[in-house]
A and B are shown apart, each in its own frame.
Chain A
Amino acid sequence: MQSRRMKLQPVLSLASVALAAALLLVALASYQHAQARLRWLVEVAGKNVLIVQKDDAPGTIVPPGDDLSSFVARLPGYLRYALRAEGGRRPNAFDYYTQYVSEGYFSLRGYRFLKGHPLRQDADEAVVGFGLRDLLGKWVTVKGRRVRVVGVLASMADRGWPDSAVEEVIFLPWRLRRGAPAFFFEFASEPEARAALAPVQGWLKAHGYSNYEALPLANLYGLELRRKLRNVLGGALLWGVLAVVLVAAASLTAFRLARALERIRELGIRRAVGAARRDVLREELAASAAWTAWGLGLGWPLALALAGWFEARTGLSARPTAAATLTAAVGLLALSLAAAYFPARWAARQPPAGAVRGLAASLPQKRLGLAMLGLTLGVAAFAVQLGVNRSAEEHTRRMVGDLSSRTAVYSSFLFVGARSVTDPRGVTPLTYADYEALLASPLAGRIAALAYVEAYLTPLSGPAGRAYAYLRAYEDPYPKLAGAHLLAGRWPEPGVHEAVVGRLLAERLFGANDPLGKTLQALGRSWKIVGVYRGAGEALPGNAASDQLLVLRRDLGGTLPGARGEILVQLRSEAPAGTFEAVGRFLTGRHADPKLAPVRPFTRNDLAPEVRAVLLELAAAYRLLAVVILLLAGAGLAAQTLMIARLETRTLGVLRAVGGSRARVFAELLWPLLAAALLAGAVGTAAGAAVSFLVVHAQEATWSLPWAQLLFVTFAAPLLAAVFAAPPAWQAASVPPAAAMRSE
């Protein structure tokens, strides 16, 4: 019995070290991969480019010309520029959605070609977006002029919103342009581009181009938003990894201390036969390093297996890279040496006489306390992680919009009544009639909520300023579906021409004044403002962004010219897969025009696909870290329980010898552990919640306590203790009394 137990213990210690090494490796690797994803998130196109363009305020303007270009060319870091003019922004004034571009425009914007080549400025040539790829090689008539399509751009759908808008554009030579130019100035670096911003703005102002604005192109790609996201998500990630390391350190220290306690008699004997303190210290450190080396060796394949499993389930790689391996190896070694040092020093300082007298065997409370230290830290780290993640997720949701994943938007990007859109890929105009038909169709049974809204681009003016904004005329429950939250006042009543205004628009029109009760002129009548709302996300299709005005559609008395119809659909949770597509086919079928592109559902995953993807992957990484934390805390606890049980072998033998049953001894061993674990859970949860509060505040995000989860965490500790400590406790309780008494 004795020798079997003697062999089992190193195996278990080695297994837990290997497990710790593997978990640390996987945690570090997933941290590294997730960080790379976050870096990728902010690697947007146009970081070094300034755009100078007409702002969206109404009015005719005289655009700047070569005078601007030659001014910018003298700024430090300037590389080159390109020009673009919009051919199709104004209602009913186009045949195709066109853009006129100068030499070098495609390469400056980083648009790659799928087929063909850029257009020649002096020829009648055109380039088309990915959506119009069928036109390659054909002659088409655009604005009364015949041009040949010589190139097709690669699809931009995965580059984010501003680029996917060029999927259905025809690019024409700059010499044919109508309308105001937009300037794209490229600089050698992002700081130089940013530094050029103020001089350019100053120049525009000084030369009277008040309707022209200069901004970093990256702003159009939501760079600021992405940076914030990266900080929030990266911060949460870092805290997760820190928590893992902390728990690993606590578990290791408690483990080494338990081991030193267990071996105190042995160390005393070694001291008695001549080992100096530093001999003992050196031996303990060497042993710890050796364990770590073995653990790393065995942990590596385990980490690979874990990473493979994790990758298969989540798509996020956790494969240890060379850098992660090196970091984990050095880190674990340092950690294990640090964890071994203090316990070993303590053990070495015990007078050998006391050690051989067996003094250490009378410190059970201390041992239990130590065992619980790792668990308390584990629970605290877990709670920190939960709190920080939760805030990161909420922050993210606020930034990228609030449409639920069961909601899709069907939108006519072009305008109702603009039937002159004869392009093969023109978009189906959606109307109120489509909405009514959908309501009456069998598909309605799968739909939980359905809303119709019409968007009108309209000039607005208030005491503090003017704006060219979207007015959305809606049918309930549009605000709810689109995720608009009322900040003040109430929603409009029908029949009395009331409106609610977005927070940003209200600021622009009314400044610091209270907009409630004021009136606004739009679409030929006046609207009384009865509420202010906060919109969700950016001005994407279907979203009620904060720079818009909402009114009831029935107050318009029918659809007006210039409307863009949108239908929002929220499915029942039990709706079969493919329902979104079925709704799209239904709407397409109602127009039955072979020249129009089919109506596609636009779900929130389409709104900011790469941001969502990163978010999903990071959520997986967070979960991985949480599991790693619990496993580390648990494994540490198991190893310590084993040692406590071994230390108490004599006691257990005596208990058994005087008639204690195996179950009774088991319970006596486990009870104090469970009670202490409950305490550890409560203390850890409280500490973790407090720390997460501080962390979240430091990140300037709002903190909300995930009560249910915290409660779960509190009870996770005793649960963990039961699961991990029961096997070694049972093993100890199963020792035949005779063997226990014999053990020296």
Chain B
Amino acid sequence: MPALKACPQFSEQMSLALDKQLSAREENELRAHLRTCDACRAQWDALQEIERLFATAPLISPPACFAVRVSARLAERESRRQIIFGVLALVIGAVVLGLISLASLGEVAPALYLLVTTPAAGHGLTVVTELLSTLESVLNALWLLAVACVRSPAAMICTTYSLIILALNVLWLRVLTSRLLRPVSHRA
């Protein structure tokens, strides 16, 4: 059997009374009503039992070593984050260096184009010859470039540029290999 329903206007007053939010006049009104209304009095008694129950409910502590587990999870998260950042940095580095290197290989592109567009069907020998001559012209081109670099008035700039690119490539390769060779999880 369902309990009698308390009067709605007093139900909220009861909640406020428990939190000491009623004025003296409002509280007197509520007390007077409780003396005359069974449904509200039943509700009030139940509310007070709930107050007692909750007031004695303990604060539950976590199992032993909780902080240690938080610390481990934090460390795990941090190392995962570092790996993600590392990979991101490597990819960006590779793309940037690749673009710079490609720019300096601009002279070789026409030769490569010739190689790709050569009709090869049934002309194996031609292809090999073409390949060799292309290689020769590539080497020639590089040699001419080098000579031009050395002889031109901008020789210094040209060689410095090439050296910087070389150094950056070597540096990047070293970082890459050290990243790949290091074990992923290393915990103290």
| Same complex origin of A and B | no
Residues of B whose CB lies within 8 Å of any CB of A are: none
Residues of A whose CB lies within 8 Å of any CB of B are: none
